Structure 1
């Protein structure tokens, strides 16, 4: 049974890796990009993004059985923060960035530093690093 869970999680991380470039490409369109983020959350975690984002980070992380799940959601929240920043919604971008950090902090508190660090390695290897933000215009 643990190997089945591991295979499911690895598949979720790989699916996120396939979704992230599409999300980045559609950042110019608010609706299209937000829809991609929602689809990626449903595909990878089996839960709706908007529902998860309504709750505090500790409650959301308590739903997960592995730190990879918390990291996947944190990555999607970070992508939404990048979308908000690209569209000049700086308060929303800041709120999403803080929420992503809270998810990671709660993941470390719940699963422990070694497991969370391994989850970070898996996510970086399979999904890649986030694309850099373009410089701010003056």
Structure 2
């Protein structure tokens, strides 16, 4: 079983790596970029992007069996935040950035991982302690 889980995670990370460069290239096209984010989420995590982002970060991280899954979703949410920013939708961009940080923080709390590149420290220092999404 651990071998299958490792293979699944390796495939998910590789899929994210292949897709991120395409997402970056298509950021000018709203629908194309959003479509790539959705496809990457489905291909790498096996779940729909919109479904995952409807729930609070703690609940979503509770669905995952490995911290890499939370990191992948956080990266995709961050890419959508960058897409919102590129199209002048700053409130939505900020909301997604906070949500990505909450995903990472909940992942560390659940899986007991050390801080990933101090992302939560920077977020906490700049924006304060994140509150649950209402």
Q: TM over 0.5: same fold?
A: yes
Are 1:34 and 2:30 counterparts? no
Paired position in structure 2 for 1:79: 79
Length-normalised TM-score, structure 1: 0.82
Cα deviation, 1:75-111, whole Å, max 9, x if unaligned, reads 0000000000000000000000000000000000000
Paired position in structure 1 for 2:120: none
Looking at structure 1, the residues matched to 92 and 14 of structure 2 have their Cα atoms a distance apart, in angstroms, of: 28
Which runs of no fewer than 5 residues in structure 2 stay unpaired?
118-134
Are 1:62 and 2:62 counterparts? yes
Backbone CA RMSD of aligned residues: 1.2
Which runs of no fewer than 5 residues in structure 1 stay unpaired?
121-138
Q: State the Cα distance separating 1:4 from its structure 2 match.
A: 1.0
- Aligned pair count reads 117
Length-normalised TM-score, structure 2: 0.85
Looking at structure 2, the residues matched to 57 and 4 of structure 1 have their Cα atoms a distance apart, in angstroms, of: 26
Q: State the Cα distance separating 1:3 from its structure 2 match.
A: 1.2
Q: State the Cα distance separating 1:48 from its structure 2 match.
A: 0.1
